[in-house]
Chains A and B, each alone.
Chain A
């Protein structure tokens, strides 16, 4: 019972793959996966410059806006970056400029809320590239028409900022406003791409057809920097609103989740999950982990299923049974009766001393039977050589009569 002697000669019997085999099998897959990840990283770095950090005051990218933010800071304007609607609306005030970088990305509810906050604030609101989805709500009375190319354009208006800035890279959406007190600048094809709408309470809303002049890459050309500084630096505080998906007001019915509606709305919104203690939830989560482990435990089979080559199972009597059912279906009483009669005749002939050859001839068989039996119900010749039964009952009766006949021949 100690170390066996023949171990070194014994051929390996294991059929499980060795680690080397596992590595050989999976290395291609692993390599492909690594290549995929590497390609993904390379592609991401190569293409990230285009839109990453667009109009972000912290981004030094081509399309970032750190340059203008630095310039504004140098001029004593405090910049506060807001990513949620709540941050943006609480910060607005008479001495504040609110820059909305992507008004089209706001949901209708958010737009309404923003408009409600800015309308009476007496501050300035700058909307960059506000298109049809947002312009109706954020600047009532203003309509937008088709877009034009971004190109250096002359101000051609009385707005001091535009006037002193001179030519600037503008374009994009073009605006019209009827019946409002507006200043229209930088026209493209006759329609302005910069529209300043005077609001009540000394506030104003500036709509810009495109945001290109705020990009780091464009700020130094034309009068872009000047225009940006004057539009955004007119008040000591600047709220730089970058709409984001993390904003809770972007999801759900954001129009109602205002501060003022919190008390009554929250009670209705709290789901069942909010009401049960967190311990139960975490305990259940741990139980789910246990369930997964139990599933793994039960799912692992102790070796694969063993198959067996099964022999065919054909009943030898199948064709006879099939013939019986065919007779039944076709109501082949004549066939059935003749084969029953023939079988009985074959069986009784040797008992009566009739040769098998003559068993089916009435001239020989009938006298031999009548010599042994006096008579039988239905008549001997009818039972042994009669016509086909008229109905099923007659067939059943015939079978019984044949049985009786045979029994009597045997016992006589």
Chain B
């Protein structure tokens, strides 16, 4: 494919097709609508289905149902729609149905400002639905990265049987950059293979391994699906000897695999005592500030997080051991900074939060870096 000027949201749609997504259900909302627009054209060409639903609650339900029926599925939304999806995101986590939810963040709360950028849904993406549950949240920093992380989102959702949130923002979603996409045929993602006979199959067996293979409905494998706590074949249970192993397996199935799930980029210098830590559009600003500081002879480290949940504790702890100060620019009033503070201590962290729709500027970051 040739180099083409492409929008972040378009790259997400292309990444979904490349990853084998064949079902999209959604309700259009600024600034995510381009994802739906592109998929409404592209999915029918590859035998996929596009449905515009009546709302985001139904959209989320539809993509869960589609995946149970065997199709890789996705939806895309923004703030108000993401709030409506929370109940069914919890259902997907409880029933361990893979699915990808794109949230192109806009300024909130409530209707907020539809066309203004934000990174205000960091905590909602982790804790928006009730109860302890695992979830993966990825955050891209460029148009090409939006394509690549969408594929990763599908890969992780399948491999770990979990909803994955692609948490992008209005800046990255609407930004256009020159990109050259790979041949979609070269894209490989995890595929479930069920080796048991249908009679022996347990969709929720608690070991060996922490992720049981998933069989699609209609392929001869029978199991029950419920949002209630369930036994290994999916029927409701109140027995602690059935609930406890499930809780343990499901709440560690991601953290046990952080070596694979934690995606990040380190740009470190020997002797640096100040670091910048960021994600999404603000990671671009952080990199800009890093280059300016280095051009002036200041040593500075940069940690860009692409996986933000589960929080990459190991990498942040190591950075905290290396430097005296970590500056965290983000387009909110300090959300991911709370996690950094939890790991390295409040005294080492300087927040640069802006929650009015404007990007943090390199100058604001430099001022917090200090001398």
**A and B, one complex?**
no
- Chain A residues with CB under 8 Å of chain B are none
- Chain B residues with CB under 8 Å of chain A are none
